[in-house]
């Protein structure tokens, strides 16, 4: 079988220019936050970092009185549908922080896609990011029911807190670097599974250089 192209930027290890876009994040989570924050344009690594800090204060074993679990505080039913294997070990574990953060990014982008469609249809009002955060906290059904951010103090505070605190995780003077790094990661992800071909530079085969 042909060897598969591997991008070290996505798999951890070493220091990358993209990593300089985040600050105040535990080093073991920088790579997965950058990967998860490059899945879609509406959800950045700093937003995900602010969510994790708010949800669990970076505790992989956090639990809530209502049953939410792990670093990203997934409810069991939501995890059953949206939990993914983020570290390639063949299983999706809500208490594995890499799995949880990767799933968080994917789920947030799924929510963003839905609220974007609703905005286009005139079913809700607000910004894509605010509505996505509200949906993560209160559920899509409540966003739809109230045609925007639900009038729940917890949800309204959650949206305001995340959007404000996200700025604390962007390294000073590196906002452009973060966006550039996200673009590199997103571009690289399109080539997962593409075989190695000497001198190749197309989706049918690429050279490691």
| Residues marked as catalytic | 55
Reported in sequence order, the residue ranges of the chain that DSSP labels E, i.e. its strands, are: 201-202, 205-206
3-state secondary structure of 170: strand
Give the burial class of 10: count Cβ atoms within 10 A of its Cβ; 0-12 exposed, 13-18 middle, 19 or more buried: middle
Q: Which residues pair with 202 in a beta bridge?
A: 205
Element (H, E) at 55: helix 45-56
DSSP state at residue 112: H
Q: Closest Cα partner for 190 from 87, 38, 29, 85?
A: 38
Q: Which residues pair with 206 in a beta bridge?
A: 196, 201
């Amino acid at each position: 079988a042909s060897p598969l192209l591997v991008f070290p930027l996505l798999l951890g290890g070493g220091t990358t220019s993209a990593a300089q876009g985040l600050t105040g994040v535990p080093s073991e989570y920088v790579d997965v936050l950058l990967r998860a924050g490059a899945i879609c344009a509406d959800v950045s690594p700093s937003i995900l970092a602010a969510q994790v800090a708010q949800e669990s204060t970076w505790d992989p074993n956090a639990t809530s009185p209502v049953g939410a679990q792990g670093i990203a505080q997934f409810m069991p039913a939501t995890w059953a549908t949206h939990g993914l294997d983020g570290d390639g070990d063949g299983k999706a574990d809500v208490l594995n922080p890499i799995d949880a953060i990767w799933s968080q990014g994917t789920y947030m982008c799924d929510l963003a896609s839905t609220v974007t469609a609703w905005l286009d249809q005139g079913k809700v009002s607000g910004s894509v990011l605010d509505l996505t955060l509200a949906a993560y906290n209160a559920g899509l059904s409540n966003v739809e029911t109230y045609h925007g951010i639900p009038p729940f103090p917890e949800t309204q505070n959650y949206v305001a807190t995340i959007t404000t605190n996200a700025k604390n995780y962007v390294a000073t003077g590196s906002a452009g670097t973060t966006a550039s790094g996200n673009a590199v990661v997103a571009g690289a992800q399109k080539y997962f599974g593409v075989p190695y071909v000497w001198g190749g530079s197309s989706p049918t085969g690429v050279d490691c250089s």
